[in-house]
Amino acid sequence: MNIDLEKIEIFKSLLDQPKKVVILSHTNPDGDAIGSSLAMAKVLQAKGHSVSCILPNRFPYYLKWMPDTDNLIIHAQDKIGIAQSVIAAAEVVICADMSSLSRLEALSEVIAQNNHAKRILIDHHLSPSDEFDLVFSFPESSSTAYLVYEIIKAAYGTEVLDKDIATLLYVGMITDTGNFAFSTINPQLFRAAADLLETGIDVPTIYNNVYNSFTEGRARLFGYVINRKMKTLLKGTVAYLSLTEDEMRRFWFQQGDSEGFVNYPLSIKKVKMSAMFSEQQGSFIRVSLRSHGNVDVNTFARRYFNGGGHKNAAGGKSFMNMEDTIAHYIKAVEEYHAEGLV
């Protein structure tokens, strides 16, 4: 992955004087969204900019230990309109880890009202929209955090990295690569990780905080889902899981508790594709899709669930009830299989 140096110069020119900057990321933010946003914020703050990080809704509780999360503005919990006022005053808006403003959902309407701020996209998903003045879009990048690292390095040098910034970037990198296990990793990623380690970050502690800090309710929910809710299709080569709101309440569900569940069926040798369906406050069903090898769930998500993502990790939404959503998925899998795609 090569960063366009002309774009780096444009980035630096947009931020050559202290500006009011807002950094945004997608609904249901994960470690990559939070890590890349806060890392960029800390670098720009050190350069004299006034920076606010805004998320559409709550992030998982097991990521609250990350540096500067107390400074995040959560739009869904913002009762006094801080997010609206900050966005209205922004001179530069940076969108991290999302390909279009629609990923902000209700917050996208607030952004649309500011027609004077320059918009910058930093993302690694497919098909970026044309809503931005400057675009850093690299679908081949393993994470947005890695892309932010490359932009920081090209614009300001690695000497601006401190332990907190490195921790934030490292969390983004490991959460979007399964702790450096997915196919999108490359030698450049490990060289970047080496730069982060040189700041003195505590890798074992970071790992434990990210992967070993769940609640008892989450552990019991996971057992229930795998034992009672995992179903297979096509002689065990395709799997799916589902969770209703009632089931979540039974296990004291908190934001982020189902993170990673969709990956588990792929640990079964025969399974090539996995799906997770979870009800979202009665308004829609969130669809998460994962796969191995040449099974393209990005195309599947776009075709059947009005979504998208990466070849082996994608998502979408269903506005049908759970029963109809699962029936639609089963039919879609059969069609995909008939075309030789799974």
- pLDDT by position in tens, the chain (length 342): 788 999 999 999 999 999 999 999 999 999 999 999 999 999 999 999 999 999 999 999 999 999 999 999 999 998 889 999 999 999 999 999 998 888 888 888 888 889 899 999 999 988 888 999 999 999 989 999 999 999 999 999 999 999 999 999 999 999 999 899 876 778 999 999 999 999 999 999 999 999 999 999 999 999 999 999 999 999 999 999 999 999 999 999 998 899 899 999 999 999 999 999 999 887 899 999 999 989 999 999 999 999 988 899 999 999 999 999 999 999 999 999 999 988
Residue 299 is part of a domain; what is its CATH number?
3.10.310.30
107 and 164, same domain (yes or no): yes
The DSSP symbol for 187 reads H
Provide the pLDDT for residue 285: 96
Strand-pair category, 273-280 with 284-291: antiparallel
User: d(Cα 271, Cα 285) in Å, to the nearest integer?
Assistant: 23
Provide the pLDDT for residue 125: 87
8 A C-beta contact, residue 174 and residue 207: yes
122 and 234, same domain (yes or no): no
First-to-last alpha carbon distance for the chain, in angstroms, is 29
Provide the pLDDT for residue 183: 65
User: Whose CA is closest to 26, among 39, 37, 18?
Assistant: 37
The values of phi and psi at residue 306, to 5°, are 50, 45
Q: How far is CA 112 from CA 44, 92, 97, 103, in A?
A: 24, 13, 19, 13
221 and 206, same domain (yes or no): no
305 and 184, same domain (yes or no): no
Burial classification of residue 275, based on how many CB atoms lie within 10 Å of its CB (0-12 exposed, 13-18 middle, 19 or more buried): buried
287 and 312, same domain (yes or no): yes
152 and 281, same domain (yes or no): no
79 and 182, same domain (yes or no): yes
8 A C-beta contact, residue 53 and residue 43: no
Task: Choose one of 180, 210, 240: the last residue of a domain.
Answer: 210
Task: Choose one of 152, 180, 210: the last residue of a domain.
Answer: 210
48 and 192, same domain (yes or no): yes
The DSSP symbol for 43 reads H
202 and 234, same domain (yes or no): no
306 and 194, same domain (yes or no): no
8 A C-beta contact, residue 24 and residue 90: no
- Provide the domain limits for residue 68: 5-210
192 and 327, same domain (yes or no): no
190 and 245, same domain (yes or no): no
Per the structure, how many domains does the chain have?
2
Task: Choose one of 210, 229, 258: the last residue of a domain.
Answer: 210
171: left (phi > 0), else alpha (psi -120 to 50), else beta? alpha
Residue 204 is part of a domain; what is its CATH number?
3.90.1640.10
pTM: 0.90
User: d(Cα 124, Cα 115) in Å, to the nearest integer?
Assistant: 25
Query: Which residues does residue 52 pair with via DSSP β-bridges, in sequence order?
Result: 22
Strand-pair category, 238-243 with 273-280: parallel
In SS3 terms, 222-280 reads as: HHHHHHHHCEEECCCCEEEEEECHHHHHHCCCCCCCCCCHHHHHHHCCCCCEEEEEEEE
